[in-house]
């Protein structure tokens, strides 16, 4: 009898101790959150991440993986890890064009439960575009990014507003030998060309893909592409523009060899460096548009998504909230020139006083247009890039190239059999 009691006592004691230990261990448990970001973002957020790890010491620890610098290489890494169904990442910093594809593949989580209406209302409207797919919020904006038209304040009083004005102004400058080239942009066969195309097309009142309708063979599209071709034919843009990505365009403009440049906000900081020939002589606006048509700016932008397979979604949401807080955004804008997304910062009189371009960025952010948000976007973009490149390098006429692009795009649309509409 006595023996029995002592055994049950001992068993009870073991039970109590183990459950206490287990409770203690779960109290001590730290959520390890892995974040994948392109290297430049990983570098610029180092301090913020360190501060987070200090603030959440013993609860959440963030580990940042430095991904490749180039957007496409970054996507390759992310997809390779996701396709194996065993991604080590809880959070991935995503480009705006990946969203539909990733969401359709079932890799992303709806963020609505962590980022409610109140929070979305704090974000500039332009920066909220491109975060939804089929009415689900799949991405939370981190850095806004949009196409800008840089102009030389020492060569003209105000930037051109319409396509014709752009041609007139640059030709006068070139004829007077004030500047070598009129306008440099991204004409290489890659995603940047699709961004330029969308901006110009919108400025001519056209539409790329609107629901089930593809507008590539409409007069607006033809006029837009003819105008781009005209720029090269009239030597306003150098022939070599058809092999320009962002760095090449920036280099020409930075050396003072061009009156205008289409580029992203990052170029501003580069143009203000000491080795820049145009330092202090640059203004910012958006792409030209026909009279009566609103000017447009292609939305770039990066944002955080939580992976469906992550086992620590709540903690991941906390990390995202911290990294995109007003304080972090302000720091990133002042130190690295990252365009903020929170309305508060654009109304901060001190910040407006400190930065000469923040209001220009705000204006551009209100004119953003997103590239078609379809899981098959990459195919559509590839089609237009091929044909535009052929047109701009004289391989095809405008009509020929655009008709083929229209036909090929329709084929892609019909092959998806309305699945994504």
Partner 1 sequence: MTLILILPAALLISLVFLFPLVHYLWLSSKAFSVMTGLVAINNNGANWIRLLNDQRFWQDIYQTTRFAITSVSLELLLAIIIAIILDQRIKGRGLIRAITLLPWALPTAVMALGWRWIFNSPYGPIEQITSLLGLEPINILSTPEITWMATVIADVWKTTPFIALIILAGLQSIPYDLYEALRLEGGNQYSAFIKITIPLISPYIFLSLVFRLAQAFGVFDLIQVMTGGGPASSTESIAMYAYINAMRFLDFGYSATIMIGSFLLLSTSCFLAYLIINQTKSLISNQKP
Q: Which residues bind partner 1 (CB under 8 A)?
A: 72, 75-76, 79-80, 83, 101, 104-106, 188-190, 238-243, 248, 251-252, 257, 375-376, 378-379, 382, 385-386, 389-390, 392-393, 395-396, 415-416, 419
Closest C-alpha to 259, from 240, 231, 297, 227? 231
What is the CB neighbour count within 10 angstroms for residue 250? 22
- Identity of the residue, 80 or 212, whose beta carbon is nearer to partner 1 in the bound complex: 80
Give least dist CB 24 to partner 1, A: 42
- Identity of the residue, 75 or 207, whose beta carbon is nearer to partner 1 in the bound complex: 75
Give least dist CB 415 to partner 1, A: 8
Closest C-alpha to 148, from 244, 240, 228, 249? 249
Give least dist CB 195 to partner 1, A: 15
Distance CA 40, CA 44 (A): 6
Q: Would you state the torsion angle of the CA atoms of residues 310, 311, 317, 318, taken in this order, to the nearest 10 degrees?
A: -130
Give least dist CB 188 to partner 1, A: 6
Write down the number of H helices and E strands in the chain.
19, 15
- The sign of the torsion formed by the CA atoms of 75, 80, 81, 82 equals positive
Q: Beta strands 297-298 and 368-369: pairing type? A: parallel
Closest C-alpha to 240, from 228, 249, 230? 249
- Identity of the residue, 31 or 257, whose beta carbon is nearer to partner 1 in the bound complex: 257
Give least dist CB 217 to partner 1, A: 19
- Identity of the residue, 189 or 221, whose beta carbon is nearer to partner 1 in the bound complex: 189
- Which residues, other chains included, contact 124 with Cβ-Cβ below 8 Å and sequence gap of 6+? 144, 341, 342, 343, 346, 362, 365, 366
Distance CA 35, CA 68 (A): 13
Give least dist CB 36 to partner 1, A: 16
- Identity of the residue, 53 or 240, whose beta carbon is nearer to partner 1 in the bound complex: 240
Distance CA 71, CA 205 (A): 29
Give least dist CB 242 to partner 1, A: 4
- Which residues, other chains included, contact 354 with Cβ-Cβ below 8 Å and sequence gap of 6+? 334
- Identity of the residue, 36 or 144, whose beta carbon is nearer to partner 1 in the bound complex: 36
- Identity of the residue, 141 or 187, whose beta carbon is nearer to partner 1 in the bound complex: 187
- Identity of the residue, 171 or 243, whose beta carbon is nearer to partner 1 in the bound complex: 243
Distance CA 191, CA 378 (A): 9
Give least dist CB 403 to partner 1, A: 15
- Which residues, other chains included, contact 364 with Cβ-Cβ below 8 Å and sequence gap of 6+? 126, 146, 147, 148, 284, 285, 286, 297
């Amino acid at each position: 009898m006595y023996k029995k009691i002592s055994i049950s006592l001992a068993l009870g004691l073991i039970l109590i101790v183990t459950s206490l230990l287990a409770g203690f261990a779960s109290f001590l448990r730290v959520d390890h959150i892995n974040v994948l970001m392109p290297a430049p973002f990983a570098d610029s957020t180092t301090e913020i991440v360190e501060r987070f790890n200090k603030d959440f010491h013993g609860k959440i620890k963030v580990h940042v993986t430095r991904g490749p610098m180039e957007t496409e290489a970054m996507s390759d890494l992310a997809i390779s890890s996701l396709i194996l169904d065993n991604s080590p990442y809880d959070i991935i910093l995503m480009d705006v064009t990946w969203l539909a594809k990733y969401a359709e593949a079932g890799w992303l989580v709806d963020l609505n439960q962590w980022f409610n209406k109140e929070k979305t209302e704090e974000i500039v409207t332009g920066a909220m575009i491109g975060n939804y797919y089929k009415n689900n919020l799949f991405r939370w904006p981190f850095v806004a990014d949009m196409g800008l038209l840089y102009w030389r304040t020492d060569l003209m009083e105000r930037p051109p507003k319409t396509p014709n004005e752009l041609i007139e102004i640059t030709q006068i400058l070139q004829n007077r030998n004030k500047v070598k080239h009129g306008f440099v942009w991204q004409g290489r066969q890659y995603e940047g060309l699709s961004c330029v195309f969308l901006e110009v097309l919108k400025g001519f009142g056209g539409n790329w893909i609107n629901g089930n309708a593809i507008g590539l063979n409409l007069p607006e599209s033809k006029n837009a592409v003819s105008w781009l071709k005209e720029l090269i034919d009239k030597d306003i843009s150098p022939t070599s523009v058809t092999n320009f990505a962002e760095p090449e365009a920036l280099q020409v403009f930075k050396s003072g060899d061009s009156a205008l440049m289409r580029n992203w906000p990052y170029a501003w900081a580069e143009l203000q460096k000491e080795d820049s020939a145009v330092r202090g002589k640059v203004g910012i606006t958006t792409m030209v548009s026909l009279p009566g048509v609103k000017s447009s700016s292609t939305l770039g932008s990066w944002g955080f998504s939580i992976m469906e397979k992550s086992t620590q979604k709540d903690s991941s949401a906390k990390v995202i909230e911290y990294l995109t807080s007003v304080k972090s955004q302000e720091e990133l804008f002042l130190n690295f020139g990252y365009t903020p997304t929170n309305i508060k910062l654009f109304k901060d009189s001190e910040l407006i006083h400190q930065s000469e371009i923040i209001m220009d960025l705000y204006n551009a952010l209100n004119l953003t247009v997103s590239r078609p948000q379809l899981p098959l976007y990459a195919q559509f973009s590839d089609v237009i890039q091929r044909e535009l490149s052929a047109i701009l390098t004289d391989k095809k006429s405008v009509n020929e190239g655009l008709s083929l692009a229209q036909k090929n795009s329709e084929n892609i649309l019909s092959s998806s059999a309305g699945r994504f509409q």
